[in-house]
Chains A and B, each alone.
Chain A
Amino acid sequence: MVHSRKINTAGGPVHVEIHAGNRHILSYRCVLMNADGSNQQTVLTGDTVDALPDDVILPFASSVLSGKFLALTGILAPVVVNDTNQNFNVEIRIRQDGALVQGSAVVVSGQLQSAIPILEHVGL
């Protein structure tokens, strides 16, 4: 799905944080790209199990980032697999100058019984 969080081109650095709630395991890759998918650059990769932070300050000026897309892709896996539906939510928190851009995180939520793929695009 394609979302929009328009950053301030005159603002400070853009900070991206990935959050997976409900104790699920998210293995992910964050990729910056042009609108046509060209010039893909991985800016953050990892998972929510290891001890490494799941956030990054994008190494580009806001004026350069404006108009680009940030893609979050990966696999969201429940630790416990059973026959019941389990809530899930994945959030892409994009902050600039300490505040969430446009006031809210991008949230993907629903229910799962087993691992599901994640593919979200955010227009900056």
Chain B
Amino acid sequence: MWGYSQMKMRFLPCFLVLAACLPLRAQQPQTPAGKLTVDWAVPESPAFTVLGLTPQTVTRPSSSQQLATTLLNGIDQNGNFQSGIALDLQPYMLWYGHTVSYAKYRDSRATRFLSRAQLSVGSSKGATGDDKSARVALGLRLTLLDKGDPYLNAAPNLCLANAGTSATAAAYPVPAPAASQSDKDAYTARMMAAYAPLERVCREKHQREYRRTGWNNSSLVIGGAPSWISTTGTTSDLKWNGAGVWTSYAYGFAGIPGLEDSSQLILHYRFRNKEQLPDPNQTGKFLEQDSHVFGARWRFGTADATGSLEYVFLHRDILGSRTDNSSRLSAAFERRVSGNIWFSFSFGTERGRADGANRAFVLTSFNWGFNRKEE
């Protein structure tokens, strides 16, 4: 029978191999996050979300990757340095993707729902004297609505299909089965040469259109993740660390003139229970807390420059200690500097903090996101 130490020794190489072999989607530095920070983006990695390590960068849900890893090094919501790894996969696409044709995905709600489902496993390890804990989480993210799904955007995909049809016709006739490999290569090269300029037109047109109208598409995602913690950092001490559930809904005002290309309303709710947090007053001790986060944000502007108003409310129950209700009201301005690099400027005020440290603040930052390139 396996002991914990044997399991650790066997699983550790698996993780290292996965980390080394799989393409990294994003290796994003963390920035210190205030207690009231809400990750407005739909989480890329549900496991990291419940571990409190979701990157603050602007990201969108990706429906294209069936398997990916994410590495993070940074500071969690409680100010402790953490390093972690998450493995994310789309189980349905990974195992049944070969059966999912474009038409089946487009025409079947059930297929879309299953294809978008994302499962993740993540672990993080504290690296400071105050927090040497190790955390593990499983996560599930379900996308119930995604009006920005590129697979449902008929025009650019028909454009690509027509480009392929034209290129195939241009290369006709087809080599004989016994033709030499060089003849077959010459044929496929002719076909691709005819396709490339047509494809470029399709993709550039789509990209322009998406940047103009797609930044505020409606979407609805729910997620949940159980977690475990070892306060000593060893796997033999792993114990239940509660779970988190959350939902994010973005409304893009589709069909409402004047707003459909210029506004987006995002509502976010997150519940986290039995979370073990390092006690700031006693090194090596942990507090247990339940927390609710509710946020509402109104974004307005264009794909390259947006303003926003947001309200965030945080309710915390710290077991055996206190209840803490605090809120933040802020305004922000973001401008795309180039590509996926954004400059942001925000200001606001906090109220209700138990430590009495309510403050007005002004923040500036550069954020970057790893979005689908064609968008």
Interface pair A80/B168, CB less than 8 Å apart: no
Given A69-B177, A75-B192, A80-B64, A21-B161 contact (CB < 8 Å): no
Interface pair B64/A82, CB less than 8 Å apart: yes
Q: Could you tell me the distance between the alpha carbons of A14 and B268 in the complex, rounded to whole angstroms?
A: 55
**Residue B191 at the chain A interface, CB threshold 8 Å:** yes
Interface pair B23/A50, CB less than 8 Å apart: no
Given A26-B164, A49-B102, A115-B195, A37-B173 contact (CB < 8 Å): yes
Among listed A5-13, A27-35, A58-66, A96-104, interface-contacting one: A27-35
Q: Could you tell me the distance between the alpha carbons of A77 and B173 in the complex, rounded to whole angstroms?
A: 21
Provide the residues of chain A in CB contact with B164, threshold 8 Å: 25-28, 47, 74-75, 77, 115
Other-chain residue from B160, B165, B167, B176 in contact with A36 (beta carbon distance below 8 A): B176
- By beta carbon, the residue of chain A nearest B98 is A21
Given A20-B102, A82-B64, A82-B373, A119-B160 contact (CB < 8 Å): no
Interface pair A49/B158, CB less than 8 Å apart: yes
**Residue A57 at the chain B interface, CB threshold 8 Å:** no
Q: Could you tell me the distance between the alpha carbons of A6 and B319 in the complex, rounded to whole angstroms?
A: 73
**Residue B182 at the chain A interface, CB threshold 8 Å:** no
- By beta carbon, the residue of chain B nearest A71 is B174
Provide the residues of chain A in CB contact with B195, threshold 8 Å: 75, 115
**Residue A19 at the chain B interface, CB threshold 8 Å:** yes
- By beta carbon, the residue of chain B nearest A3 is B177
Provide the residues of chain B in CB contact with A75, threshold 8 Å: 163-164, 167-168, 191-192, 195
**Residue B316 at the chain A interface, CB threshold 8 Å:** no
Given A27-B167, A84-B25, A73-B192 contact (CB < 8 Å): no
**Residue B93 at the chain A interface, CB threshold 8 Å:** yes
Provide the residues of chain A in CB contact with B192, threshold 8 Å: 75, 115, 117
- By beta carbon, the residue of chain A nearest B152 is A79
Other-chain residue from A22, A33, A123 in contact with B98 (beta carbon distance below 8 A): A22
Given A33-B174, A69-B177, A81-B374, A87-B191 contact (CB < 8 Å): no
Interface pair A85/B161, CB less than 8 Å apart: no
- By beta carbon, the residue of chain A nearest B156 is A79
Q: Mark B191-222, 1 if CB is under 8 A from A, else 0.
A: 11001000100010000000000000000000
Interface pair B23/A85, CB less than 8 Å apart: yes
Interface pair B99/A21, CB less than 8 Å apart: yes
Given A37-B176, A84-B68, A25-B160 contact (CB < 8 Å): yes
Provide the residues of chain A in CB contact with B100, threshold 8 Å: 21-23
Provide the residues of chain A in CB contact with B93, threshold 8 Å: 22
Q: Could you tell me the distance between the alpha carbons of A73 and B115 in the complex, rounded to whole angstroms?
A: 28
Q: Could you tell me the distance between the alpha carbons of A25 and B372 in the complex, rounded to whole angstroms?
A: 17
Q: Mark B147-187, 1 if CB is under 8 A from A, else 0.
A: 00011001001101111110111011111111100001001
Provide the residues of chain A in CB contact with B174, threshold 8 Å: 29, 31, 33, 37, 40, 71, 73, 119
Provide the residues of chain B in CB contact with A123, threshold 8 Å: 177
> What's the nearest-Cβ distance from chain A to residue B96, in Å?
9
Interface pair A45/B165, CB less than 8 Å apart: yes
Q: Mark B356-375, 1 if CB is under 8 A from A, else 0.
A: 00000000000000001110
Q: Could you tell me the distance between the alpha carbons of A119 and B167 in the complex, rounded to whole angstroms?
A: 13
Offer 10 A-B interface pairs, CB within 8 angstroms, sorted by A.
A22-B98, A31-B173, A37-B179, A40-B173, A45-B165, A50-B161, A73-B174, A77-B161, A82-B372, A117-B191
Which 6 A-B pairs rank lowest in CB-CB distance, beginning with the nearest? A27-B164, A37-B176, A117-B188, A47-B161, A75-B164, A121-B177
